[in-house]
Structure 1
Amino acid sequence: MPHSVAVTILQTSDLHGFIYPTDYRSPGNKPLGMAKLAGIIRKERSLDPSLLLIDNGDWLQGSPLMSRYANGAGNGTHPAARALKTLRYDAAVIGNHEFNYGLGLLSDVMEQSSCPWLSANIVRESDGQPAFGQPYRIFEMREGIRIAVLGVTTPFVPNWERPSHIEGLAFHDALSAAQRWITHIREYERPDAVIVSYHGGFERSLSTGEATEPLTGENQGYEMCIRLEGMDVLLTGHQHRLIAGELNGVTIAQPGYAGQALAKIGLTFDLAADGRWTLRHKAAELLMVEEDTEPECELMDMFAEDERLTQQWLDQPIGIAEGDLTIADPFAARQTDHAFTEFVNRVQMETMDAPISCASIFTDEARGFDKEITMRDVVSNYMYPNTLKVIRLMGRDIREALEQNARYFELDERTGGLRISTAYLEPKPQHFNYDMWEGIEYMLDISQPEGQRVVKLLWNGEPMEQDASFEVAMNSYRAGGGGNFDMMKDKPVVREVTTDMAEIIADYIRKHGTVRAACDHNWKVVG
């Protein structure tokens, strides 16, 4: 028996259904996708045939291929299950986006997959037991080495998800659940190493320990590394960051988004005199996907027809834009009323019969609509499976929400102009947490102190009364308070629809045939 053994763990996370090397916005071979990762996985298996391959969650939502399948156009085995089986994954962890299409689809994928799905802190409300079978799995490696993999999911899911999609489930604190199960595993399973695969990220700077976001419990990775006893490796995700290193003696990794990278953890064990294995060395690295990385032919061929039909669906013309609905500069479009955001707000107001609405430009890649509008244009600008709600807010809530929006900006001392606040760029871009409103008139002055930047707020030409109530249309994520909008949380829901917003926009365009650019310049941001 050798006195030293090396073990390899590979991790993917936040693939969001990207299999082909495309971002679906434009043609071209992009440095992303499961097919390219598959080639790297195959190479690593040639070096270590007994490696562990773990997915850290958010597989089932995010790409047009996945949304098309989930909305009834696909049939047979789910694409994610096919990929997990083909690439011989050893375990998968449940991410928050796994619930976006309901428990029925998630259950189907679990049954069709060849690997266990893990989550220790999602339990049945009825009896408090793990809702999806095993919270952890013990893997017997070479020379009898035992590796425990514990799955944990961010408990913030109820703040974002439709209640019907998580009915009967309770989401416990990830930190306390992880410690409880690590203690159990160490006592009863006696593994040689414990790996926690956590679909969540880091709430503090890895270098300084300073909070990088409100400490809501959405991300607890830093606290886990500081407080958990008995954890050797923490695999993370959710934030779409590229991380490989060590924190407080815990090896950590996070491999980005949509197949940008594969995280590789190397563990080295020595055989002690008492016959037990001792973990002597551990290290993390990221294996990056490049433009010239060759995609795996098996996966490309397996999903060729799904991809062809998806591209065909995306290229369907659904309407015409009259006037300019393009977004040339997203940052400029977030500083003053813009025809595209006015269009989205008007769709929400008409669909929900609401006098006020708020909406976002989700990413800096959003480009609005050209003259001929296709489904590709819709899903490129609105990629999340949000639904619509109308909630009742008081005037003071609207003012508070606008003050929260104002935190998106800060003054650039060098130029004297505006720039995006660091908090909205690090540790990941959060442009989707800045809203633009329609149905009211307002002005934000960023030169004023935080909390005093709403210098104008009118309703029907008069100052908005703080104690008056208003019906406001918004997406389901924001209506649940997502993005640190606590003033929205738990407010009365007046109306809601269960159709995804992308389909609502597409149906609106199909119905009208031609949509006209308009802008009433009801708001602006100054510095």
Structure 2
Amino acid sequence: MIKTLPIISLILLLAVAAPAPPGAAVKKPADQVRVTVIQTTDIHGRLAAWDYYRGAPADLGLVRVAAHVRAARQDNPHLLLIDNGDSIQGSPLAYYYAEVKSDEPNPVIQAMNAMNYDAMTVGNHEFNFGLDVLQRCRREARFPFLSANTYRTDRPDQPFFEPYIVRQYGPVRIGVLGLTTRNIPNWETPANYEGLEFRETLQEAVRWVKILRDQERVDAIIVNTHEGYEADLETGQPNGSGYENAAWAILQQVPGVDVLLTGHAHENIPPRLVNGVLTAQGHRWAEHLVHIDLVFRKQGKRWTLAEKTGRNVPMKGPEDPAVAALVEPAHAATLRWLDETIGTAEDDLSAEGVYVRDNPLLDLVHTVMRVHTGAQMSMAAYLPGRPLTIRRGDIKVRDIYALYVYENTTVTLGLSGKDVAAALEHAAGVYDQAEWDPGQQLLRLGQAPNFRIYNFDTLSGADYAIDPTRPAGERLRYLYYQNRPIDPAAEFTVAVSNYQAVGGGHYDMFRRGRRIAFDSTDIRTLIIQHIRRKGRLAPECDHNWHLAVPVELRLASRRTTAPASDSR
């Protein structure tokens, strides 16, 4: 016999069995806690979804990160939001509010405050504008700046920044340790980090992870280090970047780390397990973010990290309206500044061929450096990492920002002729697998795998030639100063960037040079001032260097393919 349920019983049964309506809170097991971790890295002042170099919308920016974070918080209020550094430098907006409108609140920090960041690890580019700007941003922030390996030289037992934070999510305690690449003294002007020292990240990670485990009694540790991997994550093969990166060593040698989040190298590396540690890198410019979920389960009286999963999320979604409205005035002010006309180009200035012969666009940089410093020579690199042409007609601030993308300043060195030659030999190391194809009448060139293209310096003020078909270290065919072979023992004044002066790009010979003068005005501003004074700018190139190849290759070298660009 078929029995029918009473109507009230049937309603109760349906209420228990039916899924929760959309938006309703789902009850979690009492013995389980899920914490969401979102990390951004190397945002470099990208707030709006806009590419300042191309003057067009782009899939990037904190306005899109904010929308993802808002949705993630609605899904799980146990959310930890952290940044990996290189945040307040690297875009026209970041420069404008650090140098031009420095008396106004920093919009990058304002946006991060509005998004309720929990902490930010300090990156190397945080020091580019000097400690005054860095400290002002630190005071404006409603979240701590972290760097456990940055110490005061007058108090060697005291980190300059907070080393870590601990956050509580219900019964679960999570520690976040911040670390900064130790290589800052090899890139940065000494005055910009005066009174500070940067210790090895590996040894500091061992020390502070132990403190977090033994003293803070955390249930999980996230190391948020502003450095990349010095070895391939699949093979462990070193990649030659150990002078600035130590994330691989931390993965292998620091017990007690649950998650290692990295940055600095601008790589898009989704979360993966390496030696039991979940590790990732979230690209750059807020084009991606790292989204991780940690699941803790109770075992007796303790909470144990039972699951850790994650993904890198591209910022192709909507913008957060509140954050978009907050950053719009700063974005609009930056666009107005970039659109200022500073002079007139009488013809196109193109970077075409800049890696294989002298070039009028890079010669503009050389001219400004030599005129400003009075140096006999200058060494400079083409920095955009992509083809660039300043078109005939009005020259805008944005054109020069696209040409010189870093906040470098000039340093005048006294260098021996021998060291000038050594610098050119080092620069010639960019070329790899140079082959002459007689059938195609083409000299084929590759880029050496461990040579970053923005470190390929050329020299102005002397004449020279490079033969890329010869072995590395033997490629400089001649070097003449005022129509005579350069005297190896004589001293010459050479203008370089502050990045180069301390050995950046492995120009170790510059470290040996005599420091004659430092300048506080960045090279981009010097170029803008130079064009304003001249009013009109014609392409000028003295053709002081070329690729020295056998006679039958000379014409073909005009069609030589340049090394592939590298952008950070």
Q: Which amino acid in structure 1 is aligned with residue 319 of structure 2?
A: P
- CA-CA distance at 1:414 after TM superposition: 10
- SS in structure 2 of the partner of residue 35 of structure 1: helix
Q: Equivalent of 1:294, from 285, 307, 318?
A: 318
String of CA shifts for 1:385-440, please: whole Å, max 9, x gaps.
1000111111221222112111111126696601222223xxxxx32111111111
| 1:179 paired residue number | 206
Give matches, 1:191-230, under 5 Å.
191-216=218-243, 218-230=244-256
- CA-CA distance at 1:366 after TM superposition: 4.9
| 2:111 paired residue number | 83
The answer as to whether partners of 1:131 and 1:169 remain within 8 angstroms in 2 is: no
String of CA shifts for 1:141-167, please: whole Å, max 9, x gaps.
13x111110011111112222222211
Is 1:159 aligned with 2:186?
Answer: yes
In 2: Cα distance, 1:370 partner to 1:73 partner: 29
Q: Equivalent of 1:72, from 100, 108, 111?
A: 100
- CA-CA distance at 1:119 after TM superposition: 0.7
The answer as to whether partners of 1:35 and 1:295 remain within 8 angstroms in 2 is: yes
- CA-CA distance at 1:131 after TM superposition: 3.9
Q: Percent identity?
A: 34
Q: Which amino acid in structure 2 is aligned with residue 435 of structure 1?
A: D
- SS in structure 2 of the partner of residue 489 of structure 1: helix
| 1:427 paired residue number | none
Is 1:359 aligned with 2:405?
Answer: no
Q: TM (normalized to structure 1)?
A: 0.94
In 2: Cα distance, 1:73 partner to 1:189 partner: 41
230-239 or 20-29, larger mean C-alpha shift:
20-29
Supply the RMSD in Å over aligned alpha carbons: 1.7
- CA-CA distance at 1:38 after TM superposition: 1.2
| 2:24 paired residue number | none
| 2:6 paired residue number | none
Q: Which amino acid in structure 2 is aligned with residue 402 of structure 1?
A: L
In 2: Cα distance, 1:71 partner to 1:261 partner: 28
> Which stretches in structure 2 are left out of the alignment for 5+ residues?
1-28, 438-442, 550-568
| 1:340 paired residue number | 361
- CA-CA distance at 1:353 after TM superposition: 0.3
- SS in structure 1 of the partner of residue 504 of structure 2: coil
In 1: Cα distance, 2:212 partner to 2:360 partner: 56
- SS in structure 1 of the partner of residue 294 of structure 2: strand
- SS in structure 2 of the partner of residue 348 of structure 1: helix
In 2: Cα distance, 1:490 partner to 1:304 partner: 47
- CA-CA distance at 1:281 after TM superposition: 2.1
Q: Which amino acid in structure 1 is aligned with residue 90 of structure 2?
A: G
Relative to 1, partners in 2 of residues 1:54 and 1:483: Cα closer, same or farther, differing over 3 Å? same
| 1:35 paired residue number | 63
72-81 or 158-167, larger mean C-alpha shift:
72-81
Q: Equivalent of 1:325, from 349, 372, 394?
A: 349
Q: Which amino acid in structure 2 is aligned with residue 110 of structure 1?
A: R
- CA-CA distance at 1:224 after TM superposition: 1.1
Q: Which amino acid in structure 2 is aligned with residue 385 of structure 1?
A: E
Is 1:94 aligned with 2:122?
Answer: yes
365-374 or 38-47, larger mean C-alpha shift:
365-374
| 1:14 paired residue number | 42
Is 1:374 aligned with 2:401?
Answer: no
In 2: Cα distance, 1:436 partner to 1:192 partner: 53
- SS in structure 2 of the partner of residue 403 of structure 1: helix
In 1: Cα distance, 2:102 partner to 2:473 partner: 48
- SS in structure 2 of the partner of residue 303 of structure 1: helix
Q: Equivalent of 1:495, from 500, 503, 517?
A: 517
Q: Equivalent of 2:165, from 128, 137, 147?
A: 137
- CA-CA distance at 1:184 after TM superposition: 1.6
In 2: Cα distance, 1:240 partner to 1:355 partner: 36
- CA-CA distance at 1:75 after TM superposition: 4.1
| 2:216 paired residue number | 189
In 2: Cα distance, 1:414 partner to 1:149 partner: 54
| 1:118 paired residue number | 146
Q: Which amino acid in structure 2 is aligned with residue 140 of structure 1?
A: Q
Is 1:246 aligned with 2:267?
Answer: no
In 2: Cα distance, 1:489 partner to 1:73 partner: 34
* Structure label with greater radius of gyration: 2
| 2:467 paired residue number | 445
Q: Equivalent of 1:49, from 77, 84, 87?
A: 77
- CA-CA distance at 1:506 after TM superposition: 0.3
For this pair of structures, how many residues does the alignment match?
A: 514
- CA-CA distance at 1:246 after TM superposition: 2.4
